[in-house]
């Protein structure tokens, strides 16, 4: 072992089955957070009616929310579903939909209703016929199933957006409106007409990373940490938060300060052992005979060597000039014995 490299020697007396093979959890990078919130600024932030229309373009609206009733009609020569739309509800929600767009949503949904089975009766009424199930079956059963599934068809908005709320700020001047969108889909929200994409933010760091890149994810981490700290009345210097965010995004991807994130940040065994699962990391390193270059702070502290940080980062070599020849020592004149008479003479 040297000061720069630490060798882990294998121990034959240890039981291999205790640590090898060891099942490790796999973190899904696309996992959604519990409360994703997208804050979207409007192109016209002082117009309330404009904010309502943009909200209708983003918030998910199903067919059941804008229909007055869906009736099963049985006539001597045919049977069908009669969908009656609620015009007042559509006006209150400021939805930019028509009977043609609703029919298009029904044809492109998972139900895959054929256009030939849909008939537009009027501006607010639609007739839908059902087909018997493949392999035979009662027609009324298909009609019942179609009646249960039709209200779940999304006719307007983004399917991944659960709710959108208009937030207003009336402090200091005219009222400023913006949208707080609950759900995912940052790319689709930014591309919606009426949204200022350059001022749209999200608290879902992974979604920001996949949409805007690693630098935007780093800025989101900094702003979210400072927002949480400020909400609890704590003030943290921005440089500390920048250091933490830089460490989490230095590898070009968002990594958490967990046992799995640290394992991907650094390959140092001693650094991983100093955080969690010390015995497991040391056992694996000893079994596989790994080497650890003592370069980080944690490893240096464990081994008691100067860390390569601050004054320890300097490694200078001074070249001494070549030594000159030793001069011949000459005897001084007054050191000669003949010039010093003895008192006994």
Cβ atoms of 9 and 286 within 8 Å: the answer is yes
pLDDT of 215 higher than 90 = yes
Residue 294 forms part of a structural domain: no
Please give the structure tokens belonging to residue 51: 């904010």
Residue 270 forms part of a structural domain: no
Residue 261 forms part of a structural domain: no
Q: If pLDDT is split at 50, 70 and 90, which confidence band does 135 have?
A: low
Domain count, the chain: 1
Residue 89 forms part of a structural domain: yes
pLDDT of 241 higher than 80 = yes
| Maximum average pLDDT range among 133-137, 239-243, 332-336 | 239-243
Q: If pLDDT is split at 50, 70 and 90, which confidence band does 217 have?
A: very high
**What pLDDT is attached to residue 10?**
55
Residue 105 forms part of a structural domain: yes
Residue 145 forms part of a structural domain: yes
Residue 317 forms part of a structural domain: no
pLDDT, tens digit, 9 for 90 and up, residues 35-83 = 889 999 999 998 889 999 999 999 999 999 999 888 888 888 888 889 9
Q: List the domain range (segments joined by +) for residue 101.
A: 62-156
Tell me what the mean pLDDT of segment 21-32 comes to: 41
**What pLDDT is attached to residue 345?**
59
Residue 85, judged by CB atoms within 10 A of its CB (0-12, 13-18, 19+), counts as buried
Q: If pLDDT is split at 50, 70 and 90, which confidence band does 331 have?
A: confident
Tell me the CATH number at 139.
3.30.1360
Cβ atoms of 80 and 130 within 8 Å: the answer is yes
Tell me what the mean pLDDT of segment 219-234 comes to: 90
Residue 288 forms part of a structural domain: no
Q: 14-23 contacts: CB < 8 A, separation 24 or more?
A: 14/283, 14/286, 14/287, 16/287, 18/283, 19/280, 19/283, 19/284, 19/287, 20/284, 20/287, 22/280, 22/284
**What pLDDT is attached to residue 343?**
66
């Amino acid at each position: 072992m040297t000061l720069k490299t630490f060798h882990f020697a294998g121990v034959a007396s240890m039981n291999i089955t205790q640590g090898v093979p060891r099942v490790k959890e796999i973190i899904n990078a696309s996992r959604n957070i519990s409360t994703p919130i997208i804050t979207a600024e409007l192109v016209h932030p002082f117009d309330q009616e404009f904010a309502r229309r943009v909200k209708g373009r983003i918030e998910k609206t199903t067919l059941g929310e804008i229909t007055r009733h869906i009736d099963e009609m049985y006539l001597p020569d045919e049977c069908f579903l009669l969908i009656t739309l609620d015009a007042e509800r559509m006006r209150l929600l400021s939805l930019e939909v028509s009977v043609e767009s609703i029919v298009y949503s029904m044809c492109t949904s998972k139900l895959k209703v054929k256009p030939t089975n849909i008939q537009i009766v009027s501006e607010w009424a639609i007739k839908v016929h059902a087909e018997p199930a493949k392999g035979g079956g009662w027609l009324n059963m298909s009609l019942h199933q179609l009646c249960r599934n039709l209200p779940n068809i999304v006719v307007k908005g983004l399917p991944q957006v659960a709710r959108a709320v208009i937030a207003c700020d009336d402090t200091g001047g005219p009222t400023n409106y913006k949208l707080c969108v609950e759900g995912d889909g940052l790319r689709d929200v930014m591309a919606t007409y009426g949204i200022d994409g350059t001022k749209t933010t999200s608290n879902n760091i992974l979604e920001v990373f996949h949409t805007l890149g690693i630098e935007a994810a780093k800025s989101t981490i900094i702003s979210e940490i400072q927002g949480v700290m400020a909400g609890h009345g704590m003030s943290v210097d921005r440089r500390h938060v920048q250091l933490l965010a830089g460490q989490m995004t230095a590898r070009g991807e968002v990594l958490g300060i967990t046992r799995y994130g640290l394992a991907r940040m650094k390959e140092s065994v001693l650094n991983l052992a100093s955080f969690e699962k010390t015995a497991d990391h040391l056992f694996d390193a000893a079994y596989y005979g790994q080497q650890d270059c003592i370069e980080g702070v944690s490893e240096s502290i464990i081994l008691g060597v100067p860390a390569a940080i601050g004054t320890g980062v300097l490694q200078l070599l001074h070249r001494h000039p070549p030594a000159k020849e030793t001069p011949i020592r000459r005897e001084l004149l007054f050191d000669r014995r003949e010039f010093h008479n003895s008192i006994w003479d």
